[in-house]
Amino acid sequence: MVDVDGVGALVGARGSSSPVPAGRVRLSREQNEKRRRELGEFIRSRRERTTPEAVGLPPGPRRRTPGLRREEIALLAGIGVTWYTWLEQGRQINVSSQVLLSVVRVLGLDDVERAHVFHLADVPDPEHMVAEAQVSQAVQLVLDQLNPYPASVIGSRWTILAGNQAYRALIGDFRDLPTCARNTLWMYFTDPEWRTLAADWAGTSRHLVAKLRAAVAADPGDPGWGPMLDALNGASPEFRELWRRQEVAGMDSAVKCYYHSVVGALDFAVVHMMTGDSRGTRVSVYTPRGDETRERLERLMAVPPRRLTYDKDHFVFEVGTTPIGVPA
C-alpha cells in the first residue's frame, strides 16, 4: 500500500499511537500564571497610553498617572471595575471573548495587538476575519521561480490562494474560479477527476479529514468552519463517514502520489511552510522523489492544464465574504 500524505500518523479515538497535537498545548499552572500576568501588564500599558480625548472624554485636570483610569475603561467597556482591576492584576478570573472584545475596542488596539491579547487570554476572537488572505506579488514571484516543481499557497481552510504553472498543470487551472470554488477539500470530495488524480484516494482523503479536524480544534473561533463542515457533510457520504471517526493528524510534511492522465505516475515529497502574513496560511512545495518523476515534471510543464469549472447552483450560501460550496 502506498503511504500517501502520512496516513500512518493518524490517531483515532481508540488509536494506540501518540496523538498529534490539535494546535493547543496544555499549560502548567506556572505557565498559565505567567500568561495571565503578561496579559494584565499588556492591557495596563495600553490603558496608560490611551488619552481621554481618544475615547471622547474631556481632558479634565492634570492627572497624576498617564492615560485613562481603570474606572473609565470599565465604564466605557460596560464591565465591572473590580473585574477589570483583577484582569490587569493577572488574577485567575473567567475571561470571555465578548467582554475582552469590549476592552479591546475601548483601548483602540490594532490588529497585531488585538491578536496578541486574545492569544494571551487563550480565547477566540469573536470577530475573527473569515475571508482568506490575499497573496502578494512577491509571493507569487517566489512560486513562479520554483517551476517545474509544483508549488501553491493554501489558506487556513484549504482554499487555493495561488499556484505556479507546474501546480496548475498538475491539478488544473483554478484562476478563473471565484474564491468560493477553490476549496481543495470540496473539490477532493466532489470532483470525479480529483479522485482519479490521487493514486490512493481513500488513504489521502482519510488523512485530509484528520488534518481538518485538528485544524478546527486549533481555531474554534473561526466562524467559517461550521458552514464548511455542513457543506462537506451534505455533499459527500465519504466525508461524513470519515468525520465520524474522530481521527486527527498534524500539518506535517508528507509523501503524495498522483497519476496524471498524460504523463503518468508522479511521486512527491511535499514540504509545508507557514507564512508570516496570515495564521494558518501555508506554502506547499512538491519536490520529486526520484529521477522518473523529475523527468515527467518537465513534460508536464508542456501540457495544457485542465480548466477547472464549477456548478453555480451548487454554491448557494456565503460565510461572511467567502462563499463555501454546497449542493442545492
Convert the pLDDT of each residue in 45-75 to its tens digit: 999 999 998 998 887 777 777 899 999 999 9
Residue 16: pLDDT above 90?
A: no
Helix 97-107, helix 111-121: angle, nearest 10: 150
Q: Are residues 111 and 214 in the same domain?
A: no
- What's the pLDDT at 24? 47
In a domain, residue 7? The reply is: no
- Burial of 148: CB neighbours in 10 Å, binned 0-12, 13-18, 19+: middle
Same domain membership, residue 155 and residue 291 = yes
C-alpha span between 246 and 273 (Å, rounded): 26
Considering the domain architecture, whether residues 167 and 292 belong to the same structural domain is answered as: yes
Do 78 and 49 share a structural domain?
yes
**pLDDT for the residue 215:** 87
Task: Give me the mean pLDDT over the 195-207 stretch.
Answer: 91
Distance CA 286, CA 295 (A): 14
- What is the structure's pLDDT at 3? 35
Q: pTM of the entire structure?
A: 0.63
C-alpha cell at 27: 499549560
pLDDT, tens digit, 9 for 90 and up, residues 135-162:
888 889 999 999 999 999 998 888 899 9
Q: At 97, which CATH number?
A: 1.10.260.40
Q: 310 and 280: one domain?
A: yes
Residue 20 lies in a domain: no
> Does 105 share its domain with 147?
no
Choose the final residue of a domain: 121, 144, 178.
Answer: 121
Domain identity same for 85 and 147:
no
Residue 162 domain boundaries: 130-324
Residue 260 and residue 188 share a domain: yes
Whichever domain contains 134, its CATH number is 3.30.450.180
Specify if 300 maps to a domain: yes
Identity of the amino acid at 74 = A
Residue 216 domain flag: yes
d(CA 256, CA 268): 5
Instruction: Report pLDDT for 314.
Output: 53
Same domain, 209 and 302: yes
42 and 165 in a single domain? The answer is no
* Percentage of the chain modeled with pLDDT above 70: 81
Q: How many domains does the chain have?
A: 2
Q: What is the pLDDT of residues 241-255, one digit of tens each?
A: 999 999 998 877 688
Which of residues 121, 151, 168 is at a domain's end? 121
For 320, list phi and psi in degrees, rounded to 5: 60, -115
Please answer whether residues 266 and 228 qualify as being in contact, where contact means their C-beta atoms are separated by less than 8 angstroms.
no
Ranking 3-7, 210-214, 300-304, 312-316 by mean pLDDT, the lowest is 3-7
Amino acid sitting at position 118: F
At 224, give phi and psi (nearest 5°).
-80, -20
pLDDT digits (tens, 9 = 90+) for 274-327: 876 556 788 999 999 999 999 999 999 999 998 887 765 554 333 333 333 333
Q: Are 263 and 162 part of one and the same domain?
A: yes
Q: Domain end: 97, 121, 145, which one?
A: 121
User: Is 140 part of a structural domain of the chain?
Assistant: yes
CB 217 within 8 A of CB 22: yes
Q: Does the pLDDT value for residue 15 go beyond 50?
A: no
What is the structure's pLDDT at 21? 37
Greater confidence (167 vs 218) lies with 167
Phi and psi torsions of 275, nearest 5°: -90, 160
CB 324 within 8 A of CB 158: no
